[in-house]
């Protein structure tokens, strides 16, 4: 049984090696990246089974994606090679501070051609968790249909459906994202937004108010990432939320991928039947690891590494 299944687009990422604006970069290092496959790799490195559903082109970059995922122990038996479209690519600059410029070349990519026909109901039915993000429904109409259908199939078989909004302004407007993601949230059991995404979806700046609004859509658990402040979670029926402080990091090398590492840690915590406070603490430790190295997956921790980090005090 594959415990965690993810679904979405994975691309080739080229990260500038020199700090500064992307237009001045001349040397790049190639990685593979995708929010959903990042989570799958994170789960596998923590000692559990994970699978990725997606499409890549019949090209060298597509093969690089599949080779890397297989090498990380992720099941790609339900990935599809599309012989009519290319694997998407994107470029990211390197800066010591401030926002990072990211340029995508993914329109019409193989990943954007994911469709409901790529879903195997029996495969989904055997999972414990289905992890979705708001990136997939923003890519194309067929991707949107696939994300909604996957959630419906998983829930029909008692699989816990997790949604990380992962809002990308370059993919769609705030209004379109809000409407679609609130609709998808009604088919999910766990919501996992960042604090800005929680505000986008609910209009509330207070984490507890935002969590209660999202619970009203039908989720049984809302986990909100608070960045440098840590994370907070609220279960349906609880009088008060559970809070976990962040893990201090001496230097942030690359903040991208921290949310995916957090999600992997939290799902593993739930797989191991940790209580909510301990699952949040594990997620925070994983998120802290992820920002210490450039690239989306390079710093995702192994279980042996994460167990060496002391658990911070978690208060309820």
Query: Phi and psi dihedrals of 46, rounded to 5?
Result: -90, 10
Alpha-carbon torsion angle 303, 281, 166, 289, nearest 10: -50
Radius of gyration over alpha carbons of the chain, in Å?
A: 18
Which residues, in sequence order, are CB contacts of 236 under 8 Å at separation 6+?
215, 219, 220, 221
Q: Are 82 and 143 in contact (CB under 8 A)?
A: no
Q: Are 233 and 225 in contact (CB under 8 A)?
A: no
Alpha carbons 309 and 316: distance in angstroms, whole number: 21
Catalytic residue among 118, 189, 260, 296: 260
Alpha carbons 134 and 113: distance in angstroms, whole number: 16
Which residues, in sequence order, are CB contacts of 136 under 8 Å at separation 6+?
7, 8, 9, 36, 114, 143, 144, 146, 147
The secondary structure element, H or E, covering residue 131 is strand 129-133
Site of tokens 């949107």: 144
Paired with 223 in beta bridges are: 233
Taking Cα atoms as reference points, which of 67, 47, 65 lies closest to residue 3? 47
Alpha-carbon torsion angle 257, 143, 31, 306, nearest 10: 30
Please indicate whether residue 59 is annotated as part of the active site: no
Distance of CA 167 to the CA centre of its chain: 11
Q: Which residues are the active-site residues? A: 260
């Amino acid at each position: 049984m594959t415990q965690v299944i993810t679904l979405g687009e994975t691309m080739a990422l080229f990260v500038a090696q020199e700090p500064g604006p992307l237009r001045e970069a001349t040397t790049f290092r190639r990685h593979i990246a995708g929010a959903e496959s990042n989570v799958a790799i994170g789960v596998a490195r923590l000692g559990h089974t994970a699978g990725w559903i997606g499409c890549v082109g019949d090209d060298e970059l597509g093969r690089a994606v599949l080779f890397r995922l297989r090498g990380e122990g992720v099941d790609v038996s339900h990935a599809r090679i599309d012989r009519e479209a290319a694997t998407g690519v994107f470029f990211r600059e390197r800066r010591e501070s401030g926002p990072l410029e990211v340029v995508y070349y993914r329109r019409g990519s193989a990943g954007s051609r994911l469709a409901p026909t790529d879903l195997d109901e029996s495969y989904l039915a055997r999972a414990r968790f289905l992890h979705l993000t708001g990136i997939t429904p923003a890519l194309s109409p067929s991707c949107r249909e696939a994300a909604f259908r996957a959630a419906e199939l998983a829930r029909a078989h008692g699989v816990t459906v997790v949604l990380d909004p992962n809002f990308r302004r370059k993919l769609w407007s705030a209004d379109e994202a809000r409407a679609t993601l609130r609709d998808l949230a009604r088919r999910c059991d766990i919501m996992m937004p960042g604090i800005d995404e929680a505000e986008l979806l609910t209009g509330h700046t207070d984490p507890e108010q935002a969590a209660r609004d999202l619970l009203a859509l039908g989720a049984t658990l809302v986990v909100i990432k608070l960045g440098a402040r840590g994370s907070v979670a609220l279960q349906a029926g609880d009088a008060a939320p559970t809070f976990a402080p962040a893990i201090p990091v001496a230097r942030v090398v690359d903040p991208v991928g921290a949310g995916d590492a957090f999600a992997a840690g939290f799902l593993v915590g739930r797989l191991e039947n940790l209580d909510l406070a301990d699952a949040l603490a594990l997620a925070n430790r994983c998120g802290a690891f992820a920002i210490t190295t450039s690239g989306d997956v390079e710093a995702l921790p192994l279980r042996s590494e994460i167990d060496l980090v002391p658990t911070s005090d978690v208060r309820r």
